[in-house]
Structure 1
Amino acid sequence: MSTINYSEKIPNNVNLGEDRTLQRALEGWQPNFVNWWDDVGPDGSTNYDVYLRTAVSVDPQGWAQFGHVKMREYRWGIFLNPGDQNREIHFGDHKGEKAWQDVPGEHRANLRRIIVTQGDTEPASVEQQRHLGLTAPSMYDMRNLYQINVEEGRHLWAMVYLLHKHFGRDGREEAEALLQRQSGDVDNPRILGAFNEKTPDWLAFFMFTYFTDRDGKFQLSALAESAFDPLARTTKFMLTEEAHHMFVGESGVSRVLSRTAAVMNELKTDDPQKVRAAGAIDLGTIQRYLNFHYSVTIDLFGADQSSNAATFYSSGLKGRYEEGKRTDDHILKGQTYKVLEVKDGQLLEKEVPMLNALNEVLRDDFIKDSVAGVGRWNKVLEKAGIPTRLTVPHKAFNRQIGALAGIKMSPDGRVVNEQEWAAKKSEWLPTSDDFAFVASLMGRVIEPGKFAGWIAPPVMGINRQPVDFEYIRFG
């Protein structure tokens, strides 16, 4: 007998109730998912009723229904954007052919790898953020953290659905492995490096959701172009939720800057020690956190030259960001792109085949988008009359992947020697002292409408609720 009422427990638009094979596969996976959530999901939150947004359909009325719910009982739905039977593949060697509804045999291994890699990031970030609820600066922020956590869980379900539906036994085994790897685990880590880093405090969380969830936006946008129609439609719907994650990061850092600027103006000082003594986070620390999270995130795009990237594009598996808005031939053979290399201590540009440089194309799109947001943070400082500005470091700074891996580079783009790197590293990247100081501020504030002293309140609440609304009812 089925243990799950599919239309109730798992809202979906994929006719889940009519597919017995898929039902059985998901019934086997679902208890393991709940065990994973209990073991490494949000710490101590089991009895909380949280004011969450739940998607129950893809139309504007259904994709954001709000109400208090226990996270463990959240309805992790499976949704694909509406399909178009006449959709054509619009890039690569199959351009002009009908989009695929099933996985072509020759692309099976690559498609599975793409889906698994994307799927692996979703539970990883829940694990990384597991303890943050214990140090939330407000009930409003705690609620936003939990919203992101349940949506990462839903994105995991979305990828697991594709694995179970389209990849048979291999897919079932991959779906199990997604719950077995763990962020930072020495023996069985997550696939991508950034998802094994710690997220120790809320400044790191805001930087992670600003930069690393923005990587998610660009990766999902590239997959939303895929010739494999179920993947394209799934990732398109995921993008509606990813926007909220980036909002939490961008507005979070803006609120930290706003509070820091207010303290600097009250004390009439830019002395970091005096700012810290007053319980705010100094601008130097914020810049160092920015440098770290930005550099770790741009590594997520992979090596600057990649035969895999060329294969994924030519095969139609993964397009470029906003592929449809580009005016080239969407096949790219014979086209070139500039990448960086270091020769004789100098940073130089060189032309390489564009198909091999598609990771770099996506990275550059991400960089442009990230820089715009940092400009919005600087407006907060400008409005407060603070002359300091945050900057995005050079893209060769602190890189661990590709041709720039291990190059000693200053944030302003100078190749430096080992001595200068050692001397200046503590000015450029967060130190143990920075982490200890930020940790010292992380006291939990959970009274409605109250905020920790290092962050300003938001301008407005969630879903037109007041800022002092009871977003969480503690059981």
Structure 2
Amino acid sequence: MSTINYSEKIPNNVNLGEDRTLQRALEGWQPNFINWWDDVGPEGSTNHEVYLRTAVSVDPNGWAQFGHVKMRDYRWGIFLNPGDANREIHFGDHKGEKAWQDVPGEHRANLRRIIVTQGDTEPASVEQQRHLGLTAPSMYDLRNLFQINVEEGRHLWAMVYLLHKHFGRDGREEAEALLQRQSGDENNPRILGAFNEKTPDWLAFFMFTYFTDRDGKFQLSALAESAFDPLARTTKFMLTEEAHHMFVGESGISRVLSRTAQVMNDLKTDDPAKVRAAGAIDLPTIQRYLNFHYSVTIDLFGADQSSNAATFYSSGLKGRYEEGKRTDDHVLKGQTYKVLEVRDGQLLEKDVPMLNALNEVLRDDFIKDSMAGVGRWNKVLEKAGIPTRLVVPHKAFNRQIGALAGIKMSPDGRVVSEAEWTARKAEWLPTPEDFAFVASLMGRVVDPGKFAGWIAPPVMGINRQPVDFEYVRFN
């Protein structure tokens, strides 16, 4: 079923009306979701009509329509990619068997944990971005923020559906808990560390959507390989929506760099103080933000050696990124992979069983993908004749998880002393002064076609609309 039924209280393409018990349970969860949205969703947005895309089918050729919608009236729903009755498991110990339509009892706890952890990230990012609408640099950017917010809400619905349908009372309790945890809450925080960090300004937002939503792309891609077919079908459709989130981050930073380069050329200076005085964000500050968001995000992939990762793969619960394009045996027993460790003050590689290193495999895939985008940012600087280049820090820099946690490492990959780390940390990571300066630029600009002085306009608008289109109607 590719089209989505919007006549029901919960839009869906899973024939929800045929399972009255499930439908009642989800309709009981729905008001709690709306209360959560009202309490900690985008601040001050209740009456705005926003030019949003809404999924109308899961056909990749025409899956969304655009129109002005009050965000609180957005039709969050449950959408799965079409199923294939002959789909087989293509990795792990169950390779060659039929994909599962129900949860095997022996994998129940692990599957629930995977779904809950993924589900927990979705409302967390909405909470982290709650206040950003109050400092939007343009109406175009405000619309993009709100699009991301509603889609993260829909991705929460995707996981809640799986919990309710396949995990009974445990699933219903986990679904309630997803609305009870809150980003940064001391007593009941979100599960993963990066989702308890503040997103204080739009430079942080663009870095978050570039790096942290890219983590989402890789995690969802790994889950889209799952032997548990409803999870695979759910995450495949989530990836369709996720692409726009990464576009917002990549294009946002490109536009910041374009404006910074313009100011540097106008003033004929690379002095950060002079660039700041002209109301643009200097390149060293952008680099420090990059270092922070990149290092926090690569921690999301987990420890470099993990027995859980091995179990998830061998059990068929979670594959690798683009598993089907890999040319090995898709079982991986007896294969090895290189991970890093620090021994006698030196950073060294060592071979470990690949099954135990699958978090590192996924992290390295992410790093390669991230570096390509940073290369595109550098093209902006190159085109403007600016010699400075942004650099992705070493993957051992500023790590808090795994064998590299707490190692004092420079961005260029040197193990440094505590004294050098303390002396140079302000060169490498954002300082309170950096945050205060960027915050000072964050005045709200929402007249159609107008943009804050620290960011360039986009090349084109959304859905072929002009850049000065009325993307948000303030009622």
10-19 or 308-317, larger mean C-alpha shift: 10-19
Q: Residue 5 of structure 2 contacts residue 13 of structure 2 at CA under 8 Å; is this kept in 1?
A: no
Q: Cα deviations across residues 179-203 of structure 1 (Å, max 9, x unaligned)?
A: 0000000000000000000000000
C-alpha separation between the residues in 2 aligned to 1:7 and 1:229?
26
SS in 2 for 1:89: coil
CA separation of 1:216 and 1:4: change in aligned 2, threshold 3 A = closer
Q: Cα deviations across residues 87-129 of structure 1 (Å, max 9, x unaligned)?
A: 0000000000000000000000000000000000000000000
Q: Cα deviations across residues 373-427 of structure 1 (Å, max 9, x unaligned)?
A: 0000000000000000000000000000000000000000000000000000000
C-alpha separation between the residues in 1 aligned to 2:145 and 2:6?
27
What is the RMSD of the two structures over their aligned residues, measured on CA atoms? Answer: 2.2
Q: Residue 6 of structure 1 contacts residue 16 of structure 1 at CA under 8 Å; is this kept in 2?
A: no
C-alpha separation between the residues in 1 aligned to 2:151 and 2:450?
26
C-alpha separation between the residues in 1 aligned to 2:355 and 2:407?
25
Q: Cα deviations across residues 192-219 of structure 1 (Å, max 9, x unaligned)?
A: 0000000000000000000000000000
Corresponding residue number in structure 1 for 2:227: 227
CA separation of 1:364 and 1:61: change in aligned 2, threshold 3 A = closer
Q: Cα deviations across residues 268-312 of structure 1 (Å, max 9, x unaligned)?
A: 000000000000000000000000000000000000000000000
C-alpha separation between the residues in 2 aligned to 1:5 and 1:23?
14
SS in 2 for 1:264: helix
Q: Residue 3 of structure 2 contacts residue 13 of structure 2 at CA under 8 Å; is this kept in 1?
A: no
Q: Residue 124 of structure 2 contacts residue 182 of structure 2 at CA under 8 Å; is this kept in 1?
A: yes
SS in 2 for 1:6: coil
SS in 1 for 2:301: coil
Instruction: State the Cα distance separating 1:4 from its structure 2 match.
Output: 15
CA separation of 1:6 and 1:464: change in aligned 2, threshold 3 A = closer
CA separation of 1:471 and 1:329: change in aligned 2, threshold 3 A = same
Q: Residue 55 of structure 1 contacts residue 77 of structure 1 at CA under 8 Å; is this kept in 2?
A: no
C-alpha separation between the residues in 1 aligned to 2:256 and 2:465?
22
Q: Residue 101 of structure 2 contacts residue 228 of structure 2 at CA under 8 Å; is this kept in 1?
A: yes
SS in 2 for 1:159: helix
C-alpha separation between the residues in 1 aligned to 2:6 and 2:380?
47
CA separation of 1:193 and 1:99: change in aligned 2, threshold 3 A = same
C-alpha separation between the residues in 1 aligned to 2:118 and 2:252?
25
Q: Residue 398 of structure 2 contacts residue 408 of structure 2 at CA under 8 Å; is this kept in 1?
A: yes
C-alpha separation between the residues in 1 aligned to 2:61 and 2:251?
25
Q: Residue 41 of structure 1 contacts residue 126 of structure 1 at CA under 8 Å; is this kept in 2?
A: yes
C-alpha separation between the residues in 2 aligned to 1:380 and 1:5?
44
Q: Residue 4 of structure 2 contacts residue 13 of structure 2 at CA under 8 Å; is this kept in 1?
A: no
83-92 or 52-61, larger mean C-alpha shift: 52-61
Q: Residue 443 of structure 1 contacts residue 452 of structure 1 at CA under 8 Å; is this kept in 2?
A: yes
Q: Residue 4 of structure 2 contacts residue 12 of structure 2 at CA under 8 Å; is this kept in 1?
A: no
Instruction: State the Cα distance separating 1:9 from its structure 2 match.
Output: 3.8
Q: What percentage of residue pairs aligned between the two structures are identical? A: 93
C-alpha separation between the residues in 2 aligned to 1:99 and 1:376?
39
Q: Residue 2 of structure 2 contacts residue 13 of structure 2 at CA under 8 Å; is this kept in 1?
A: no
Instruction: State the Cα distance separating 1:7 from its structure 2 match.
Output: 3.5
Q: Residue 2 of structure 2 contacts residue 81 of structure 2 at CA under 8 Å; is this kept in 1?
A: no
CA separation of 1:62 and 1:76: change in aligned 2, threshold 3 A = farther
Q: Residue 288 of structure 1 contacts residue 430 of structure 1 at CA under 8 Å; is this kept in 2?
A: yes
Q: Residue 183 of structure 1 contacts residue 190 of structure 1 at CA under 8 Å; is this kept in 2?
A: yes
Q: Residue 258 of structure 1 contacts residue 380 of structure 1 at CA under 8 Å; is this kept in 2?
A: yes
Gaps of 5+ in 2: none
Query: What are the within-5 Å matches in structure 2 for residues 98-137 of structure 1?
Result: 98-137=98-137
C-alpha separation between the residues in 1 aligned to 2:63 and 2:12?
11
C-alpha separation between the residues in 2 aligned to 1:30 and 1:91?
36
When normalised by structure 1's length, the TM-score is 0.99
CA separation of 1:412 and 1:67: change in aligned 2, threshold 3 A = same
Q: Cα deviations across residues 212-267 of structure 1 (Å, max 9, x unaligned)?
A: 00000000000000000000000000001110000000000000000000000000
Q: Residue 12 of structure 1 contacts residue 56 of structure 1 at CA under 8 Å; is this kept in 2?
A: no
SS in 2 for 1:415: coil
SS in 2 for 1:217: helix
C-alpha separation between the residues in 2 aligned to 1:34 and 1:462?
27
Q: Residue 138 of structure 2 contacts residue 448 of structure 2 at CA under 8 Å; is this kept in 1?
A: yes
C-alpha separation between the residues in 2 aligned to 1:6 and 1:461?
28
Instruction: State the Cα distance separating 1:6 from its structure 2 match.
Output: 6.4
C-alpha separation between the residues in 2 aligned to 1:19 and 1:190?
31
C-alpha separation between the residues in 2 aligned to 1:247 and 1:64?
17
Q: Residue 137 of structure 2 contacts residue 452 of structure 2 at CA under 8 Å; is this kept in 1?
A: yes
Q: Cα deviations across residues 308-349 of structure 1 (Å, max 9, x unaligned)?
A: 000000000000000000000000000000000000000000
Query: What are the within-5 Å matches in structure 2 for residues 167-246 of structure 1?
Result: 167-246=167-246
Q: Cα deviations across residues 120-172 of structure 1 (Å, max 9, x unaligned)?
A: 00000000000000000000000000000000000000000000010000000
C-alpha separation between the residues in 1 aligned to 2:211 and 2:422?
26
When normalised by structure 2's length, the TM-score is 0.99
C-alpha separation between the residues in 2 aligned to 1:422 and 1:204?
23
Instruction: State the Cα distance separating 1:10 from its structure 2 match.
Output: 2.6
Q: Cα deviations across residues 349-394 of structure 1 (Å, max 9, x unaligned)?
A: 0000000000000000000000000000000000000000000000
C-alpha separation between the residues in 1 aligned to 2:413 and 2:64?
43
Instruction: State the Cα distance separating 1:77 from its structure 2 match.
Output: 1.9
CA separation of 1:104 and 1:67: change in aligned 2, threshold 3 A = same
C-alpha separation between the residues in 1 aligned to 2:21 and 2:317?
26
Instruction: State the Cα distance separating 1:62 from its structure 2 match.
Output: 4.8
SS in 1 for 2:406: coil
Q: Residue 6 of structure 1 contacts residue 17 of structure 1 at CA under 8 Å; is this kept in 2?
A: no
C-alpha separation between the residues in 2 aligned to 1:7 and 1:167?
27
* Count of residues paired in the alignment: 475
Query: What are the within-5 Å matches in structure 2 for residues 31-430 of structure 1?
Result: 31-60=31-60, 62-430=62-430
Q: Residue 182 of structure 2 contacts residue 188 of structure 2 at CA under 8 Å; is this kept in 1?
A: yes
58-67 or 157-166, larger mean C-alpha shift: 58-67
Instruction: State the Cα distance separating 1:56 from its structure 2 match.
Output: 1.9
SS in 2 for 1:7: coil
